[in-house]
Chains A and B, each alone.
Chain A
């Protein structure tokens, strides 16, 4: 009789604890973050890109990165993907006869891949030691190798597959674009944008770049317009050129809450390696779950209290019974 009573009490008590805990905090949904007001970023226009890869070279020079070889003769830096030694890369979309630039069928197109500097970065949410941080002012997602433990959660969390690790080093660290923030003090800005001959990569405030992107997709293909180069504000290196055929979508405007690197393309984005993402970031979902369960440690402490109460009674019972007739030999 006693055992059954104890058992039922235990069940009821823990059930009560879990129910209260489950009902109390779900109201703490964590909203997806937006871009900060003064966020800095890039606008990449695939229709302007000619695939010259000057941006790749400039990035490697600015960041002191080693070349990567993918051909038999180790003569040219020919990375096939971004890596811990290649922060920025131009990839080529090829289809059929590859006759027409920016055509999805029988055409070819270029797409840049580098850190998107998300408004709500998965890597920042995932990193347990704050090695990945988002600057509250500029919004740049920065990496601190001194804090990093090399767990590579950021590598698996990023939907764009950007943070990459140096597997060939016993003291490896993550490598990714940080918008050349180390060059700002010398009056420079992102090296890729500085060198781009056609203005395909443009640097500036994300709000300005988003406005520029929207201006471009509203233009009539074939008409002439001015395209800025380098930095969107000053100095003026703009030039006149015919408008290409844009998809009516600025990639990065809303994906996962928005990104600070925006992209325009003539070919469908999922065909050029840019994933289809919802407007709610996965960081928001993950943190909502964590905050609901562990916010303020309320639920764990409540549950601990109930468990402790039950365990104390049960352990005492056993000590008594153990003291009675156990030691037989």
Chain B
């Protein structure tokens, strides 16, 4: 088989008003009112962030973890367009949509946390920019990637609007944006890890290492696949569609391969640096380290063989495990394993939590609306040749 046949994408259809969208709507309204207070009275009025833990839930969860969970588009694009595994093409649009939303929200969510947000354009302006700063590179790369993804996703809108010619012209240049769409996440997902380096000894040795960019890059790719597993199962279940098992099964095998490389790098680095001893200290930090790595190892037990990979329940759980591992890797590095000195405490406040919840509600809300109204998911009523 030289050419792959797959069903073209189509809107799922159905009503936009249901329990899910209503709940999301309420959560979003709550978030909006909290943000109003934040912008009028300052960060201290709604959050518990302080000078010992200046980066709290909003930065670490909404921005960093949110963007990591949005790596589905990157991982699938890598597979489809670089390693030429065209059979995964149906996964591209949904993954891309999730990525688009995740990154746009993460990028927008930054504004909630920036203390002097009206100066945000400085981060792109030559007169202000500090090219040595890791954060500059992350910001520039993420912004560029968001633009690239909107461009990559525009065929969906062009299709819906029936603008065939424009779509054709865009398709000619698409390869360049796709290439950018693979390069840019490699740059910023790894640099999100490099952001830890300047914090020096404040970050626990279990997460502070010169190879942190590689660790974050590999984990981002793996999380991408994990998110695809997760979302495919959830979307299929919610929309009462069949799961693309023929795609997810082999894709998860590839995920295991990259996961193996990741674990070798991760533990190899810990052993070479002599930092593994930290993991055996009786502390909450050490416990969190083990939970994180159990999550990363679990997929081998869940979907290690072919028979297991045929079971969508196991695929789903493996996806969840990977997502949890990836979340914990970042949470541990930036928050749980971060210690600026004794005496400082931080736990997110209730309004802080509700804003984060609101962010994810926007993502779910948007995902539902777009998949129901725009051609993203593969058409279900057409028999697919394979």
Question: Which residues of A line the B interface, CB within 8 A?
Answer: 2-3, 6-7, 10-11, 14, 81, 83, 122, 124-130, 145-153, 155-157, 159, 161, 164-173, 273, 275-277, 282-283, 285-287, 289-290, 293-294, 300, 303-304, 307-308, 310-312, 314-321, 324-329
Contacts and interface: CB of A to CB of B under 8 A. Distances in A.
A25 B215 CA distance: 20
Chain B interface, >50% SS class: helix
B84 interface: yes
B54 A155 contact: yes
B147 interface: no
B274 to A, nearest CB: 15
B11 to A, nearest CB: 14
Contact of B2 (A3, A11, A147, A329): A3
A147 B133 contact: no
B36 to A, nearest CB: 11
B237 interface: no
B84 A10 contact: yes
B82 interface: yes
Contact of B382 (A127, A146, A285, A328): A328
A282 B199 CA distance: 7
Given A157-B198, A173-B116, A285-B197, A126 B129 contact: no
B137 interface: yes
B82 A151 contact: no
For the residues of A in contact with B, the DSSP-based class is helix
Interface string B50-94: 111011000000000000000000000000111111100100000
Interface centre among A2, A128, A277 (most CB of B within 10 A): A128
B217 to A, nearest CB: 11
B130 A156 contact: no
Nearest to A172: B115
A261 B257 CA distance: 51
A46 B30 CA distance: 52
A122 B200 contact: yes
B182 A321 contact: no
Contacts of A287: 132
Interface stretch (B95-103, B169-177, B280-288, B320-328): B169-177
Interface in B208-222: 210, 213
Contacts of B134: 126, 286, 290
Nearest to A84: B51
B179 A308 contact: yes
Contacts of A289: 194, 197, 210, 213
Nearest to A1: B2
Interface string B331-354: 000000010110000000000000
Nearest to A123: B198
B174 A315 contact: yes
**Most chain A CB atoms below 10 A, which of B51, B83, B136, B171:** B51
B175 A308 contact: yes
20 contacts: A7-B84, A124-B130, A125-B130, A128-B133, A149-B115, A149-B119, A151-B113, A153-B135, A156-B54, A156-B340, A282-B198, A285-B210, A286-B134, A287-B132, A304-B179, A311-B178, A312-B175, A312-B176, A314-B82, A321-B4
B276 interface: no
A308 B176 CA distance: 6
Nearest to B135: A128
Contacts of A169: 42
B179 A311 contact: yes
B122 interface: yes
B135 A161 contact: no
B157 interface: no
A81 B135 CA distance: 28
Contact of A307 (B41, B117, B182): B182
Interface string B1-41: 11111111000000000000000000000000000001111
A129 B135 CA distance: 9
A6 B116 CA distance: 49
Contacts of B120: 149
A162 to B, nearest CB: 9
Contacts of A314: 80-82, 84, 86, 175
A125 B81 contact: no
B121 to A, nearest CB: 9
B183 interface: yes
A317 B135 contact: no
B43 A167 contact: yes
Given A166-B42, A170-B41, A161 B52 contact: yes
B198 A283 contact: yes
Interface in B126-178: 128-130, 132-137, 139, 171, 174-176, 178
A304 B129 contact: no
A304 B183 contact: yes
A291 to B, nearest CB: 8
B133 A321 contact: no
Contact of B117 (A11, A150, A294): A150
Contacts of B213: 289, 293
B264 interface: no
A57 B54 CA distance: 27
B245 to A, nearest CB: 20
Given A3-B2, A3-B84, A128 B201 contact: no
A208 B51 CA distance: 33
A150 B210 CA distance: 27
Given A157-B198, A282-B199, 15 more contacts: A11-B83, A124-B130, A125-B198, A127-B135, A128-B135, A128-B136, A150-B116, A161-B340, A165-B115, A166-B115, A170-B40, A170-B42, A294-B187, A311-B178, A327-B8
Contact of A282 (B128, B187, B200): B200
A314 B113 CA distance: 40
Contacts of A329: 379, 382
B81 A315 contact: yes
Contacts of B200: 122, 159, 277, 282, 285
